[in-house]
Amino acid sequence: MIELEDAAYGYGTEPLLSEIGLRLAPGSFHFLTGPSGAGKTTFLRLCYADLLPTGGSVRLFEQEAKAMSRDDIAKARQRIGVVHQDCQFLDHLPVAENIALPLTVSGRKTGQEAANLEELIGWVGLRARADALPPELSGGERQRAALARAVIMDPDVILADEPTGNVDWEMSLRLLTLLVELNKMGKTVLIATHDLALIRAAKAQVSARVLRIGGGRIHLAGADL
């Protein structure tokens, strides 16, 4: 699905990430952890070609990111749902319309899609909040709306950047359960988080590989997690 081989990235002259190798196989579940500023968000941005590697290779669905046209990248992105760290919404539109935005923009809001939207809003537990405006949502409701928006296009891969930031433990577990359910439906999931307790909790539910970014490299985390 997504493959990085000896990939490197730096915002300036100094490399931030180097010798990054990873293959996200279909249906796999990965956690990515590491201290603040280690490069987790940067790594995710490489995975959906929001950044292109300054060295090595990133392949999305068998295509070399650096050789992809804008159209190719747009098509590949439809297969990747991203839950951003600072989930932004259009504050003047109700939650349901914000979740449906990717459908609206791509002109796919048909009758069937509208039924799927209803189901999705129910699945994330926001039926009672569907008509609310984003500023009226709690942190946990925002995160669930962001997750629903990330999966509305039925992507193959879900990349979630600190999806449980700013929510309490109970809500973290609820969000984790939603991501595990998506994985059980066959989706490939990668969660970037600094929350080791969340990773430990996930181990009871799913077989996940845990990667750690540190010193600009990526390592498979050991049994200490």
Ligand X SMILES: Nc1ncnc2c1ncn2[C@@H]1O[C@H](COP(=O)(O)OP(=O)(O)OP(=O)(O)O)[C@@H](O)[C@H]1O
**Options 36, 69, 112, 207; binder of ligand X; rule CB under 6 A:** 36
What's the min distance (Å) between Cβ of 119 and ligand X?
Answer: 32
CB nearer to ligand X: pick between 150 and 218: 218
Map residues 181-200 to x or -, x wherever contact with ligand X holds by CB under 6 A.
-------------x------
Q: Is 219 in the site for ligand X (CB under 6 A)?
A: no
CA angle in degrees (0–180, nearest 5) for 182-165-196: 80
Q: Please work out the total of residues on this chain that contact ligand X, with binding judged by CB under 6 A.
A: 11
Q: Among the residues of the chain, which ranges form H helices?
A: 40-47, 70-78, 95-105, 111-123, 139-151, 169-184, 196-203
Which tokens belong to 61?
């669905």
CA angle in degrees (0–180, nearest 5) for 172-40-151: 55
What's the min distance (Å) between Cβ of 20 and ligand X?
Answer: 12
CB nearer to ligand X: pick between 46 and 157: 46
Q: Is 37 in the site for ligand X (CB under 6 A)?
A: yes
The conformation of residue 39, written as its DSSP 8-state character, comes to: S
Q: Among the residues of 79-188, which ranges form H helices?
A: 95-105, 111-123, 139-151, 169-184
The conformation of residue 127, written as its DSSP 8-state character, comes to: G
What's the min distance (Å) between Cβ of 165 and ligand X?
Answer: 9
Nearest CA-CA partner of 182 in 210, 200, 163? 163
Q: Is 41 in the site for ligand X (CB under 6 A)?
A: yes
Q: Is 13 in the site for ligand X (CB under 6 A)?
A: no
Q: Is 16 in the site for ligand X (CB under 6 A)?
A: yes
What's the min distance (Å) between Cβ of 85 and ligand X?
Answer: 6
Binding residues for ligand X, rule: CB under 6 A, are: 11, 16, 34, 36-42, 194
